[in-house]
Amino acid sequence: MIEEFKGKHRWLSNFAPAIVEHRGMVFMSVEAAYQSAKTTDLKAAARFTDMAPGEAKAAGRNLTIRPDWDDVKCSVMEHLLRQKFTNILDYKILLLGTEDQLIVEGNWWGDTFWGVCKGVGENHLGRLIMKIRSELQEED
């Protein structure tokens, strides 16, 4: 079981370097692309293209959030993760190397939607990564 995305599993994190595309823009991490997707203002979204992941996460808190965000955030995340784990060979190999391990985005900051904190959470991030892994396994 992978219980958190740090140490030897840091590559699973959305903060790991990964060039991904969204809405015609290129980002240096899944985190930056995801945060940019929270707004319909493309000028504001474009500011995230060169942001480090931590900077993007902080800046995402100050955006005017698109009204349909709760409806689309999982599909946006899946789109970005799919790019990371299919287009970047090193990440694909590492992901396939996890075989059938449970992947949990354990955290201490209270994110119970994307991860699990103190044993509580929906682990949507881990579930999406495992879904992509399963599809990649079927292709091999």
Q: What pLDDT sits at residue 131?
A: 98
Q: What pLDDT sits at residue 41?
A: 96
Q: What pLDDT sits at residue 73?
A: 98
Q: What is the band of 11 on the pLDDT scale with cuts at 50, 70, 90?
A: very high
Please say whether the beta carbons of 119 and 129 come within 8 A.
no
Whole-angstrom distance, CA of residue 130 vs CA of residue 52: 25
Residue 72 has pLDDT above 80, yes or no: yes
Q: What is the band of 95 on the pLDDT scale with cuts at 50, 70, 90?
A: very high
CATH topology of domain 2-139: Tetracycline Repressor; domain 2 (1.10.357)
**Whole-Å CA distances, 77 to 33, 97, 102, 119, 132:** 9, 22, 19, 23, 12
Q: What is the band of 46 on the pLDDT scale with cuts at 50, 70, 90?
A: very high
Handedness of CA 45, 48, 53, 59 (dihedral sign): negative
The structural domains of the chain, with segments of one domain joined by +, span: 2-139
The predicted model scores a pTM of 0.95
Q: What pLDDT sits at residue 132?
A: 98
Return the ∠ at Cα 138 (arms to 92 and 116), rounded to 5°: 60
| Mean of all residue pLDDT scores within the chain | 97
